[in-house]
Amino acid sequence: MSGWGPGRRPGRRALERPGAEEGSILLLTIFYAFLALVLILVTVAATSLYLERKRLLTLADGAALAGAEAFDLSAVGVTTDGSGPMLRPALLSADVHAAAAEYLATAPHGSIAGLELTGAGSPDGRSATVSLSAYWRPPVLAVVLPAGVPLEVTAVARSVFR
């Protein structure tokens, strides 16, 4: 006759307080606090990476716009395409590179580490293409990534007369 039936009482062992579970809540609390801290640090690092890339892209957009405006008025010519005659500036890669470098020298870029103009030119004579690179370092726990993560962005701008 095993089990509990009518009239049977649980043994003394079933009525004792479980002493083996003592302190397990503290261990779980420490684990979840550590997990929450790790998630917060990862979120802060991801947000910092996103914002640093956006700052670099904004700087590249400004340099590309400066490069797209780097033409002499004597270089503006009339071209004809399917929509009729249009005034188009002729961009030179050397002028675009010089304008982008000048823009980067004067534009405030604060704490962007390792900022470098990796390329600037005009592949088609109409648009200016500027490529920038930099390094991102996490704001917290920089020991994990001491060299940083390389960031590269490219922006294209075009001047059009209408």
Averaged pLDDT score across all residues of the chain: 81
Residues 143 and 36: their CA atoms lie apart, in Å, by 20
Query: So what's the pLDDT on residue 97?
Result: 93
Query: Could you tell me whether strands 127-136 and 76-81 are parallel, antiparallel, or unpaired per DSSP bridges?
Result: unpaired
The tens digit of pLDDT for each residue in 7-55 reads 655 555 555 555 555 567 888 899 999 999 989 988 888 898 999 999 9
* Sequence-ordered list of residues with C-beta below 8 angstroms from that of 71, at least 6 positions apart, any chain: 89, 90, 91, 92, 95, 159
The tens digit of pLDDT for each residue in 146-162 reads 667 899 999 999 887 76
Query: So what's the pLDDT on residue 65?
Result: 93
Which amino acid, residue 147?
A
Query: So what's the pLDDT on residue 150?
Result: 92
Mean pLDDT of 108-133: 89
pLDDT of 78 > 80? The answer is: no
